[in-house]
């Protein structure tokens, strides 16, 4: 239903439906809507603009901020809804008040909070504070077509440079009901499609190397038994030299060297990620956006790294240098993980009902869509009622996985790493520990638990996709670099295998290049 916006005095619940509802108009100032909005016990102005509307309505942080956006578990998120709704009507009320167009009852009520004369600068500041944020939010949305015209300046601002209430209603309703289309994608440095693929590729490579390791380990064990050697100790140097003469360089030795390179690459890659995470201000605030995105990366710096360390330990290749790299990587991952996990602990104890948890978890989307034009807050915080319910099931499932599964991943990785370090660094238990760890039952138990953990870790990394946080088409320069960081490991493996099998052809090729 079309409304003559010039005849409007005040509209409540802006954005809750596609058309304006519950409006007080000039031609019927005694209507139920007018009596409700301007009643003596009404909180429209006392809570909507703290009683001094012109002062507060010019402040963008006041319009869009709330305790829930800052602290997640505190507040109900209604402050920006009330503030934006009331302030959207202030310029129009001021004009009607100065024109004497309001009834005595309404005029008396309004004069307590809005002066008769507002300067043009004040009117302009209020209008731009209300509209710039909405326009910028639409420009940052992943699908601008849902709000392009509705949130444009042409539709939001009337000819008199006052907010167009009908346009404001259309824009807010489009953003609040646009689901994921209203949101921007997450920071591609953290969960871009290439970066995400790199995390997945790391886990896939570790699992692949595990299966190759099992193959070589079984072959080695059979040969050791056949030659009456200790099946679980290092192969004798003379036997290694015989093997090299027979086969130039054994596949196992080549693979062991590449496994070392993969492990060190993981330590450098994951360690760098943890240092970058520590630089995101994770100690100072409860930011569920960083919590959801960075916790899987923290556990990715623990489990896969400890897994490859266990494989190297099995073959007695976990020397002091590799051990130190692993300790540093695990330590950084642990600091990041528990710092972030601390933000989730209140959700287990303080919020018992699902609707309260979801309301708190909405901070994730508010942080994702926060922009400077809104005072570093989100325009989606002004969505009235239950119009903004994006990702309710997905975010509840993801939060449950983070709260329940990640402690299991970290605890298992830490338990295994502690055992390996004790056997590696404490001489008194080294002999006994080696026998225990090289026991076939213990060995296969470790392998199966690690593989199960890697499956869980992959599911945690998929949180970025389940929450639809990445643009699958955004293969920028940095995203490509993030993927190819693992290619040299596989390339080195293939190259060394080739040169070991056909050394003559390689040397002839090098001689030809020198000539």
pLDDT at 322: 95
* Cα 361 from Cα 348, distance rounded (Å): 12
How high is the pLDDT of residue 230?
44
| Per-residue pLDDT at 303 | 96
Residues 163, 156 contacting (CB under 8 angstroms): yes
Tell me which residue of 10, 8, 151, 14 sits closest to 82, measured CA to CA. 14
Tokens of 176: 């609040």
User: Helix, strand or coil for residue 183?
Assistant: coil
Query: Quick one: pLDDT at residue 271?
Result: 92
Task: Report residues of the chain scoring pLDDT below 50.
Answer: 1, 226-235, 237-238, 240, 243-247, 351, 506-508, 510-515
pTM, to two decimals: 0.80
pLDDT at residue 65, as a whole number: 85
**Contact yes or no for 194/476 (Cβ under 8 A):** yes
Alpha carbon distance 312, 210 (integer Å): 11
At 229 the pLDDT is 42
3-state secondary structure of 281: coil
What's the pLDDT at 232?
A: 42
Please tell me the number of Cα atoms within 13 Å of 333 on its side-chain side: 30
What letter does residue 377 receive in the DSSP assignment?
A: B
- Tens of pLDDT, residues 357-372: 666 677 778 888 889 9
Which tens digits make up the pLDDT trace of 411-460?
A: 999 999 999 999 988 888 888 878 888 888 999 999 999 999 999 999 99
Q: Are 250 and 220 in contact (CB under 8 A)?
A: no
Is the CB of residue 74 less than 8 Å from the CB of residue 67? yes
Per-residue three-class SS string for 391-428: CHHHHHHHHHHHHHHHHHHHHHHHHHHHHHHHHHHCHH
The pair of three-digit structure tokens given for residue 349, joined into one six-digit string: 């104890």
Helix (H, G, I), strand (E, B) or coil at 286: coil
92 neighbors 68 (Cβ within 8 angstroms)? no
């Amino acid at each position: 239903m079309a409304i003559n916006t010039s005849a409007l005095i005040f509209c409540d619940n802006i954005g809750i439906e596609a058309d304006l509802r519950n409006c007080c108009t000039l031609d019927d100032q005694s209507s139920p809507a007018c009596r409700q909005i301007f009643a003596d016990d009404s909180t429209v102005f006392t809570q909507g603009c703290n009683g001094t509307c012109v002062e507060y309505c010019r402040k963008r942080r006041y319009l869009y901020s709330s305790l829930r956006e800052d602290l997640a578990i505190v507040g109900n998120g209604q402050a920006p809804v009330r503030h934006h709704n009331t302030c959207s009507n202030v310029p129009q009320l001021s004009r009607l008040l100065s024109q004497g167009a309001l009834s005595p009852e309404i005029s008396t009520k309004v004069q307590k909070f809005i002066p008769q004369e507002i300067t043009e600068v004040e009117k302009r500041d209020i209008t731009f504070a209300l509209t710039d944020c909405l326009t910028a939010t639409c420009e940052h949305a992943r699908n601008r077509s849902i709000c392009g015209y509705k949130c444009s300046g042409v539709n939001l601002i009337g000819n008199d440079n006052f907010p167009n209430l009908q346009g404001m209603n259309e824009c807010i309703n489009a953003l609040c009901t646009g689901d994921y289309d209203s949101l921007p994608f997450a920071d591609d440095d953290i969960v871009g499609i290439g970066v995400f693929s790199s995390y997945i590729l790391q886990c896939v490579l570790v699992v692949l190397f595990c299966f190759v390791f099992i193959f070589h380990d079984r072959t080695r064990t059979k040969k050791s038994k056949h030659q009456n050697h200790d099946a679980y100790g290092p192969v004798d140097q003379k036997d290694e030299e015989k093997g090299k003469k027979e086969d130039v360089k054994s596949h196992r030795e080549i693979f062991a060297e590449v496994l070392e390179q993969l492990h060190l690459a993981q330590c450098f890659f994951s360690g760098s990620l943890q240092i970058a995470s520590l630089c995101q201000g994770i100690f100072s605030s409860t930011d569920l956006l960083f919590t959801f995105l960075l916790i899987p990366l923290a556990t990715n710096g623990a489990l896969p790294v400890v897994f490859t360390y266990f494989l190297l330990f099995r073959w007695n290749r976990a020397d002091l240098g590799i051990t130190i790299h692993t300790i540093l990587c695990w330590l950084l991952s642990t600091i990041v993980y528990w710092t972030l996990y601390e933000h989730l602990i209140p959700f287990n104890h303080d919020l018992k009902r699902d609707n309260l948890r979801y309301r708190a978890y909405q901070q994730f989307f508010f942080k994702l869509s926060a922009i400077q034009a809104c005072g570093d807050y989100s325009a989606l915080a002004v969505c009235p009622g239950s119009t903004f319910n994006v990702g309710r099931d997905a975010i509840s499932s993801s939060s449950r996985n983070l709260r329940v599964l990640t402690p299991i991943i970290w605890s298992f990785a830490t338990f295994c790493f502690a055992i390996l370090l004790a056997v590696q660094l404490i001489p008194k238990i080294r002999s006994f520990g080696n026998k225990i760890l090289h026991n076939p039952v213990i060995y296969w138990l470790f392998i199966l638990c690690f593989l199960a953990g890697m499956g869980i870790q992959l599911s945690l990394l998929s949180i970025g996709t389940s929450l639809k946080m990445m643009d699958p088409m955004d293969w920028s320069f940095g995203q490509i670099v993030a993927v190819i960081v693992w290619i040299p490991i596989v390339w080195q493996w293939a190259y060394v295998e080739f040169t070991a099998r056909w050394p003559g052809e390689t040397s002839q090729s090098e001689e030809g290049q020198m000539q």
